[in-house]
Structure 1
Amino acid sequence: MLKMQKVGKIYMQKIVLQDLNLEVENGRIFGLIGAVGEGKTTLCRMIAGLIPIDEGEIYIDEKPLSRHPEIVRKKLGYVPRQFGRYRDMTCEEYLEYFGRLYGRNDDITEKKLEELLEMAKLASRSREQVDQQRPEVKKKLSLIRCLLTDPDVLVLDDFLVGLDVRERKELNTLLLQIRDMDKAILISSPGTSFLTGEEDCLGILQRGNIVVQGTLEEITEQVNRSNPLELVIAENCAKAVEVLKAEKTITRISMDGNKIFAGFEGTQEDQVRILRCLMKEGVPVISFQRGKSDLESVFWKLTE
């Protein structure tokens, strides 16, 4: 499990991260979304122990990074945004090389490598040169390289940047497989171009803190509460506007033909009451609903 409590970072008297709290359980993916410059890479590097924490603490499996850096790092797999260059190495040699770096070469059997390559659908590429591979394949190799040490936590910085829709979908499939191996995965992204399971969480990083977090359904529901009512009226729009203006929960009204948009600050019970009032006054309502947002519109609304 990955846990952060009141984590802060200051660069040249500028607050990059402040009072940040976050928890990623084993068997879960946490998608950290934030615009460029909001501190995602800084946070990932802090978790990996590459830069110091100025405030708060980071825990992996309940062990604080500041007190047990070597123990914690053995439980962590970190993938930076840049892959690096590995001239004259085949994919298999790349993995064996990192096995030696991790001091686990004796434990990394040929069978284990075959299993990992098969899981990532790279078995046919094991003898091919690393530098000749597409970005998607290099990302897969980075993931496999991390799995050589069987870490409990994976931290992936801007992992899906620069990939097309098909490549992202394939990598997400692999990530879900790894998640189901009881791994806690933190993946950062400058936008909304990644998928998670129903139980996985998202968080939007802005001005050094996570302004909203939860499952995709929870976040969109939270934002949708501030969306306007959208009505389509068959006729008598003037009467509909009159009814809406009498409602204290309606803040503003705009029209586009037979469509009415009403700012709304009320509950579901208030929506039911308003609809009944419209029908009682003889207003023929074709549709009546709260405006909906997808993840991308939620992201822009929260970061504008």
Structure 2
Amino acid sequence: MLAHVSLPAVRAFEAAARRGSFRAAAAELNLSPSAVSHAIVKLEKALGVALFERNGRSVALTINGETLMHHVRNAFDELRRGLESISAQGPQLLRVHSAPSFAAAWLTPRLPVFLAQHPGIELRLAAGTDYTRFTSDDFDVDIVYGPVRGDGLATIDLPQETVTPLCTPALADTIATPADLLRANLIHSDNKQVRWNHWFQVNGMSAPAPQGIRFDRSFLALAAASDGLGVALESTMLAEREILAGRRVAPLAGLARDVRYVGHRIVLPSFNQQRRIVRSFVEWLQGSFEVKDFETKT
């Protein structure tokens, strides 16, 4: 069967099926519409089935056409991955998905370093709380917060994060013991794994009734803390730049027990691990973490 089917004919079929038009497929492939039509007719004769329903200038896939398109799309995706994995020519596209707070507070500020070290890479970054399934091939790497969901995935834990109360230097001057937090305005992050009740429990105290300001993203809670709206319980990894700049401090550093845990993980399809561009990003990401302890209020 394959001896009677040419790759250009399959390519014409794929383009026409994807674009829904012989004319659009022809423009994409730099061919004439008649050449695309002829190639598809030849493919249909070789297979003995109709692949398209023709209605004037518009075309639609038949049931057999939809079945073939499913397999052709997967085959072309696999071929593209193979070519990209060994290609060292021209710009290479890296598509990254990330948890929103990690993307905003940690990853984006460091991307200029990565891009400077890898000038041939074109990077696209999207952020969301949804988990990338990779089935649509929209992304190469995901940086997730929390547990990993999905099969056939490679997972790499990022370093442990330290979760501690954070606030402005002025507010920190009013906090000398963990008990002082019982009278403070506490900022809550609803989607965090480590919340105020966990922190108070670790420090042998009962948490106050939930009240104050609530956010659904850590970077919003951190921004509120920087604006002096209260005390946020957040990761020093996500707050690192603000801490180093002196806009946020850990008022109870050395005076209370912090919570340490693995919050973020790199996730990618197992077959993507060997792609040069993906390896470069993962290795850079792992090498970009430095252990920092914030021991004082200033």
After TM superposition, the score normalised by the length of structure 2 is 0.23
The structure in which a higher percent of residues are helix is: 2
Who wins on radius of gyration, i.e. which is larger? 2
The structure in which a higher percent of residues are strand is: 1
